[in-house]
Amino acid sequence: MKELKTDLLIIGAGPGGMAAALYAKRSGLDFIIVEKNMAGGQIINTDLIENYPGFLDNPSGFELAQKLSEHCKKFEIDIMEYFSIDKIEEADHKDGGKTYKFKSTGSDSYIYSRALIIATGAKPDRLDVKGEAEFIGKGISFCATCDGALYRGKEVAVVGGGDTAVEEALFLSNLVDKVYLIHRRDELRACDMLQCRARDNGKIEFLWSSVVEEFVGDEKLESIIIKNKNDGSTRKIAVAAAFEYVGWEPNSDMIKHLVDTDQKGFIIADMTMKTSHEAIFAIGDVRNTPFRQVITAVADGAVAAMYVDKYFLEQG
């Protein structure tokens, strides 16, 4: 096992982690940033980012992620990609006048650090209904940008009612013949602009107050049984694919034993991004934030890096 030591370990190089790294660099902090995949985070799989200020040409998520990576490179930040932290333990490791509080293990190395910024984001929730596990990858997908083109000219469903569900339904409407938007409420949660576009889109049919009861098919997904919550009636719709956008689950398993979380496992942090542990900060989608977007993740990253700097100054 390779042993590394640093003042600050940033875990995750999505928008939040990369912003934290940029601010940490500018503050002259000694830090390491690791990322279990390629740098970029969830936006890599997104078609269009229309709401990130200053980017008037509506970049794809992949392009915005690349811009953030390039910014890190320009600042000579070396993101350790394909490096997953699997275990974090409290430590009391003294060396060179410093006390390292954490030992984070992953990818044949362990990294001692004095502080942590957790920027590990979130992954899609599942519906947990009959047939779902069987058809994931065989018609059920969590990424329209990745898989939408496979269903060109067909009929598909999107499940959910928030910004992401509506954005992805609009994206799919450019490829497929019809999109059923299945939502458990009788109104969408998505912002007004997206709602208007979806309502004006002739290819999107709304199935209000409806939940998926079962995914049905032989080798691949062929149809969905939908239940209307108001009258209990069921209906079967034939679709080639279903895209689920029903919520998020935090990537916090490796740190949950050291910090307070909410019921779903999102890490509780204060306005300085500090958690219940004085040397652990949490940012972006993994935090119990009311809004999960690129702009909030990068803002969290900046705040956390500045307060980590302050924490080190107070520690002496």
Ligand X SMILES: Cc1cc2nc3c(=O)[nH]c(=O)nc-3n(C[C@H](O)[C@H](O)[C@H](O)COP(=O)(O)OP(=O)(O)OC[C@H]3O[C@@H](n4cnc5c(N)ncnc54)[C@H](O)[C@@H]3O)c2cc1C
List 30, 78, 86, 146, catalytic entry: 146
Given the structure tokens 């209906």, which residue do they identify? 235
Q: Which residues bind ligand X (CB under 6 A)?
A: 11-17, 34-37, 41-43, 45-46, 49, 51-52, 84-85, 119-122, 164, 167-168, 251, 254, 284-285, 292-295, 297
Instruction: Report the nearest approach of ligand X to the CB of residue 237 (Å).
Output: 23
Residues 6+ apart with CB under 8 A from 17: 10, 11, 33, 35, 41, 117, 119, 283, 284, 301
Smaller CB separation from ligand X, 228 or 288: 288
Instruction: Report the nearest approach of ligand X to the CB of residue 12 (Å).
Output: 3
Examine the residue annotation and report whether 191 is marked as an active-site residue of this protein: no
Instruction: Report the nearest approach of ligand X to the CB of residue 216 (Å).
Output: 25
Q: Are 41 and 13 in contact (CB under 8 A)?
A: yes
Smaller CB separation from ligand X, 48 or 225: 48
Residues 6+ apart with CB under 8 A from 316: none
Smaller CB separation from ligand X, 84 or 209: 84
How far apart are alpha carbons 143 and 147 in whole angstroms? 6
187: DSSP letter: S
Examine the residue annotation and report whether 309 is marked as an active-site residue of this protein: no
Smaller CB separation from ligand X, 223 or 275: 275
Instruction: Report the nearest approach of ligand X to the CB of residue 305 (Å).
Output: 13
Examine the residue annotation and report whether 146 is marked as an active-site residue of this protein: yes
Helices (H), the chain: 15-26, 61-74, 132-135, 144-147, 163-173, 192-200, 294-315
Indicate the residue type of 94: K
Given the structure tokens 């060109």, which residue do they identify? 152
Instruction: Report the nearest approach of ligand X to the CB of residue 49 (Å).
Output: 5
Side by side, which strands form the sheet with 178-182?
Answer: 140-141, 241-244, 155-159, 178-182, 204-207
Smaller CB separation from ligand X, 119 or 239: 119
List 7, 47, 72, 147, catalytic entry: 147
Tell me which residues are annotated as active site.
Answer: 143, 146-147
